[in-house]
Amino acid sequence: MDRIKLIDKLNTAHDLSDEEFYQLIFPLCSAGLSEESSPDNAALKAYTDAAAWTKDEEDHLYITAREAADANYGKSVFLRGLIEFTNYCKNDCYYCGIRCSNKNAERYRLTKEDILNCCDQGYYLGFRTFVLQGGEDPFFTDERICDIVSAIKLKHPDCAVTLSIGEKERASYQAYFDAGADRYLLREETSDNEHYHYLHPDSLSMKHRQNCLFTLKSIGYQVGCGIMVGSPMQTPKAVIKDLRFMQELKPHMIGIGPFIPHKDTKFANMPAGTLTDTLHLLSILRLMFPDILLPATTALGTIHPLGREMGIKAGANVVMPNLSPTGVRGKYLLYDGKICTGDEAAECRMCMQRRIESTGCHVEISRGDHCSVSH
Residues that bind ligand FES (CB under 6 A): 321, 340, 343, 347-348, 351-352
C-alpha dihedral, 344 to 348 to 349 to 352, nearest 10°: 170
Contact map string, positions 69 to 98, toward ligand 5AD, x by CB under 6 A:
--------------------------xx--
Tell me how far, at minimum, the Cβ of 275 lies from ligand FES, in Å: 17
Q: Which amino acid, residue 103?
A: K
Tell me how far, at minimum, the Cβ of 352 lies from ligand FES, in Å: 5
Strand partners, 76: 362
Which of 113, 217, 223 shows the shortest CA–CA distance to 170? 217
- Which of 230, 290 has the CB closer to ligand 5AD? 230
- Which of 216, 361 has the CB closer to ligand 5AD? 216
3-class SS of residue 71: helix
Tell me how far, at minimum, the Cβ of 97 lies from ligand 5AD, in Å: 6
3-class SS of residue 162: strand
CB neighbourhood size of 3 (10 A): 18
Tell me how far, at minimum, the Cβ of 45 lies from ligand 5AD, in Å: 28
- Which of 78, 95 has the CB closer to ligand 5AD? 95
Q: Give which of ligand 5AD, ligand FES, none residue 321 binds (C-beta under 5 to 8 Å, depending on kind).
A: ligand FES
Q: Give which of ligand 5AD, ligand FES, none residue 257 binds (C-beta under 5 to 8 Å, depending on kind).
A: ligand 5AD
Q: Which residues of 56-72 are buried (b: 16+ CB within 10 A; e: fewer)?
A: ebbebbbebbbebbeeb
Of 335, 348, 353, 363, which one interacts with ligand 5AD (CB under 6 A)?
Answer: 335
In the chain, where does DSSP find H-type helix? 3-13, 18-25, 33-36, 41-51, 55-73, 112-124, 142-155, 170-179, 193-199, 206-219, 236-249, 275-288, 298-303, 307-313, 326-329, 345-357
Instruction: Check residue 132 for interaction with ligand 5AD (CB under 6 A).
Output: no
Instruction: Check residue 311 for interaction with ligand 5AD (CB under 6 A).
Output: no
Instruction: Check residue 257 for interaction with ligand 5AD (CB under 6 A).
Output: yes
Quote the DSSP letter at residue 274.
Answer: P
Tell me how far, at minimum, the Cβ of 95 lies from ligand 5AD, in Å: 4
Q: Give which of ligand 5AD, ligand FES, none residue 340 binds (C-beta under 5 to 8 Å, depending on kind).
A: ligand FES
Q: CA 137, CA 78: separation in Å to the nearest integer?
A: 28
Of 20, 182, 189, 277, which one interacts with ligand 5AD (CB under 6 A)?
Answer: 189
Q: Give which of ligand FES, ligand 5AD, none residue 68 binds (C-beta under 5 to 8 Å, depending on kind).
A: none
Q: CA 4, CA 58: separation in Å to the nearest integer?
A: 9
231: left (phi over 0), alpha (psi -120 to 50) or beta: beta
Residue least distant from ligand 5AD (Cβ): 335
314: left (phi over 0), alpha (psi -120 to 50) or beta: alpha
Per the CB < 8 A criterion, the answer to whether 94 and 200 are in contact is: yes
Tell me how far, at minimum, the Cβ of 261 lies from ligand 5AD, in Å: 6
Q: CA 235, CA 330: separation in Å to the nearest integer?
A: 32
Of 152, 228, 284, 345, which one interacts with ligand 5AD (CB under 6 A)?
Answer: 228
- Which of 28, 340 has the CB closer to ligand FES? 340
Instruction: Check residue 262 for interaction with ligand 5AD (CB under 6 A).
Output: yes
**Residues at the interface with ligand 5AD (CB under 6 A):** 95-96, 187, 189, 228, 257, 259-260, 262, 299, 334-335
